[in-house]
Amino acid sequence: MAEPQNFSECVDKLLDDFKLYDKTVDLVSCWEFFYTKVAPVRDRILHFDRFPRLVPAQENERDRKTPDFAVLVSDSYGLVGDVKSGFPLEEAAFLRHLERLKKYDRSLSFKRNEKGETTSPTTHDILLIIPIRDSQEIVLRIESLLSNGMVTFERKLIVLEWVYDSDEYIFRRVAGQIADFNDSSVPEEVRLSKHFTSRGRSLKISPDDIKLIKAKWQFCNDEPKPIYTIVFLWTKIFYHLLDERQREVWRRKNPQKELPIDVTVGRLVEEISRYPMEWGHWTDWVTKALNTLVIAGLAREIGDGRYVVDYRNLTKEVGEPGHPAAGSRSAYHPAEYARILATYICRGLHDKKRKTEAQDELQGQGKLPFLEQASPPNNATDE
Amino acid sequence: MPKQLQLAGGEFVGRWRDTLALCAGVCARNKRAKIFFATFFSEKAAPTLLAGLSRAINLTTKTDYWLASSVRGGEKGGAKLRFGLFQSGHDAWTAFTLTKTVANEDALLRLLRLLSPNFSEAYLTSSDIRSIFEALEERAGVKVSVNKAVAYSHRREGQISFFKNEAYHTVFNKAENEGKFVDKVDFSLTGPHFLHGFVARNGGAKFMAGDIELFQDSILSPIAQISSNKHGVFRASSRQPGSTEVSAIDIQFGETAFQGREDDLAFISSLDRMARSGIAVLHENPYVHVSLIDFFDGSAFDIFATSRKAVTIVPQVGASPFSLNRLCNHIFENFREGMIAKPEEKVWTLEEVLA
């Protein structure tokens, strides 16, 4: 996607980032639902891992692999699932994208229970989950690269496509791929080869099925974009860092009043752990979120790793939203945090860009990309 | 400032039921006199909380209740508000005062609201009020007639309806058919018992005349009972710090409430209007997932509209049952009324998810 050139494109881009992450949370939740709530599947597997940090079993490699989910079906078979929002068109970039999946193509230690014990199954399959939009073309290109020997996988790489239709998320195996699940060692009920390949069935899961799973975890194993983390901090965490006197101000007087919160990354991470979220790179994520709040003008860095966040109820600052019944349906946008915070961030970036451009004009240097500060280079769904 | 009535002889005697009987006697002699009741929830003992308020409140322990008095409008010349306070259920408390002015009722409510944030009123729905009248007719063999009632439409641009001298079920049916909720009802009984009373959806009630025991048993107790049951569900839904488990509540509308995008937006818009709160719309289309923070006490909720006939609210860490109570009442008043229920535990089968 091209970098946004103006303010409204910037807001739309941040909102897209927000929605993309939320969508990935949904998709992972669908698979958690399948493996933990559907009988007899939930009774036939050993463990579903929503936040896997898989250690290569036989190598001296210390890097943990973090797919979107992992399932230890039995001592002999596992599944690694990765959700991607798409593949690049350009050939070399496409190949690089595909090769990133090779990090899962090795013997890995899967979590086998909540105590953290692990098992390296005899084999595992790699499940690539992509939107239906370009799935056929992507599979054809992958097959072509595999047959040409441009890329090789020791394990099976299976591509599933997903679509949201008739109030359900629908997953099915993309037609035209040669590889099939290597799951003959496990009971029939949990063989995806039986459900998806032999019987040609689709997995259909509604948002109603996954709502509690989603509310429980809020995040998935991918790194969230700062806008997503900020909304979480603003609506669920910051309030708990106010002192009693500050809370009293909002209770009795004006909830729009700005209340400064003097905070460090460590203190925020500690507060987040009440959720509990031990699995993420919270120190990094919170640091990026705070730095983005600084750009947005909603926080200041005051040295020694400390920040002051000007916390308040932002939703009432931008006026009352329209209402469908009032005839403003098409223009209706709720005064809600993702949009409001995106507006603040883009305003901050815009001001920064203008300042930089003014300096560049003076110094004859290049321009600051509009979103350089707000978006880290990696894609939330693709890591 | 209107003066509070003084009870003639034996005011605020040892037991609250005896005190109410005396107050009812005053109401029989003075047409303007009424007993005002406010039922509310507080997890800490309400007398302790009242004693801890900064304003001067004198508390006297009686046999089975407390007598409280506070001076309003400054130290000198201010009217004295005297009220009784008894525990009416688990975490439920009822305050009562004999008065002939709305000013005293408001003063009592304002005072009780100082117990926030760990406080909520005993919100009733139209259906709750209707069920109280149904049970009253059945129990006492009487007919409930509405002297006056007020109903509001759920939407902000909505209208107010006034009803006068109609059978209670006619009033409730009309309100429901017009997409309105019943806010307050002034009613009388005809039949073997006489009673003139008043019920409001914030759990407030008034006794004007008639059989005080019937009022206690058929109006006051059900208000505490119905709202206590709901509060119990709210309390059980709290998410504990450090726990991975979440517990949800459903608001079941009993009929299709979400038919398309317009209903989704109307629902989001209704949440948007909750005072002292902010929302984040995580998902707006094709289903609704909103995160809401109540700035009143920091409670946060995930709210889903994923089925056509219900919404689900998942309280997050630190969310209070009081805030959940306020949120549900806000949805009832601004979107649609429904029934609060715990979602049933369900295990799905392969046939349900594979096709």
- Please count the residue pairs, one from chain A and one from chain B, whose beta carbons lie less than 8 angstroms apart: 179
Q: Which residue has the tokens 């991470």?
A: A269
- Whether B155 contacts chain A with CB within 8 A: yes
Round to whole Å and give the CA distance between A334 and B261.
13
**In this structure, are A152 and A41 located in the same domain?**
yes
Tokens representing A342? 């995106």
Round to whole Å and give the CA distance between A186 and A122.
12
pLDDT tens track, chain B, 355 positions: 445 555 554 478 999 999 999 999 999 998 899 999 999 999 889 999 998 887 778 899 999 999 998 876 554 555 678 999 999 998 999 999 999 889 999 999 999 998 888 889 999 999 999 999 999 999 999 999 999 999 999 865 567 888 888 899 999 999 999 889 999 999 999 999 999 999 999 999 999 999 999 999 999 999 999 999 999 999 988 777 767 788 899 999 999 999 988 999 999 999 988 988 889 888 887 899 999 999 888 899 999 999 999 999 999 988 999 999 999 999 999 999 999 999 888 999 999 999 8
Cis geometry, peptide bond prior to residue B241 (ω within 30 degrees of 0): no
* Cross-chain Cβ contact A250/B295 below 8 Å: yes
Residue A237 structural domain: 226-363
Shortest CB distance from A251 goes to which of B265, B296, B316?
Answer: B296
Are A72 and A122 contacting, i.e. CB atoms less than 8 angstroms apart? no
pLDDT at residue A274 in the model: 83
* Residue A376 placed within a domain: no
State chain A's mean pLDDT as an integer. Answer: 86
B contact residues 256-275, partner A, Cβ 8 Å cutoff = 262, 265-266, 268-269, 271-273
Cis geometry, peptide bond prior to residue A52 (ω within 30 degrees of 0): no
* Residue A115 placed within a domain: yes
Last residue of a domain, one of A150, A184, A217: A217
* Cross-chain Cβ contact A212/B156 below 8 Å: no
Shortest CB distance from A334 goes to which of B269, B295, B352?
Answer: B269
Q: Is B323 helix (H, G, I), strand (E, B) or coil?
A: helix
As beta bridge partners, residue B93 has: B40, B87
**In this structure, are A196 and A244 located in the same domain?**
no
Shortest CB distance from B349 goes to which of A39, A240, A321?
Answer: A39
End-to-end CA distance of chain A: 17
Which of A211, A316, A340 to probe by mutation at the B interface, max B CB count within 10 Å? A211
B chain contacts of residue A17, beta-carbon cutoff 8 Å: none
Overall CATH class of domain B247-341? alpha beta
* Cross-chain Cβ contact A215/B277 below 8 Å: no
Are B70 and B57 contacting, i.e. CB atoms less than 8 angstroms apart? yes
ipTM: 0.84
Q: How many domains does chain A have?
A: 2
B chain contacts of residue A39, beta-carbon cutoff 8 Å: 347-350
Q: What is the helix, strand, coil percentage profile of chain A, to 5?
A: 45, 20, 35
Region at B93 (left for phi over 0; alpha for psi -120 to 50; beta for the rest)? beta
DSSP letter at B33? -
pLDDT tens track, chain A, 383 positions: 456 668 889 999 999 999 999 999 999 999 999 999 999 999 999 999 999 999 887 766 667 899 999 999 999 999 999 999 999 999 999 999 999 999 999 999 999 998 989 999 999 999 999 999 999 999 999 999 999 999 999 999 999 999 999 889 999 999 999 999 999 999 999 999 999 999 999 999 999 999 999 998 889 999 999 999 999 999 999 999 999 888 888 777 677 788 999 999 999 999 998 876 767 788 999 999 999 999 999 999 999 889 999 998 887 664 433 333 333 334 556 668 898 899 999 999 888 777 777 777 766 544 444 454 444 333 333 33
End-to-end CA distance of chain B: 72
Q: How far is B341 from chain A (nearest CA, A)?
A: 15
The pairs formed by B46-51 with CB atoms below 8 angstroms and a separation of 24 or more are B46/B85, B46/B87, B46/B93, B46/B95, B46/B115, B47/B85, B49/B115, B49/B118, B50/B85, B50/B111, B50/B115
Which of A336, A337, A339, A341 to probe by mutation at the B interface, max B CB count within 10 Å? A336
User: Per-domain residue ranges for chain B?
Assistant: 16-121, 126-201, 247-341
* Residue A375 placed within a domain: no
Round to whole Å and give the CA distance between B195 and A225.
63
Say which CATH topology domain B16-121 has.
Answer: TATA-Binding Protein (3.30.310)
* Cross-chain Cβ contact B353/A251 below 8 Å: no
**In this structure, are A199 and A265 located in the same domain?**
no
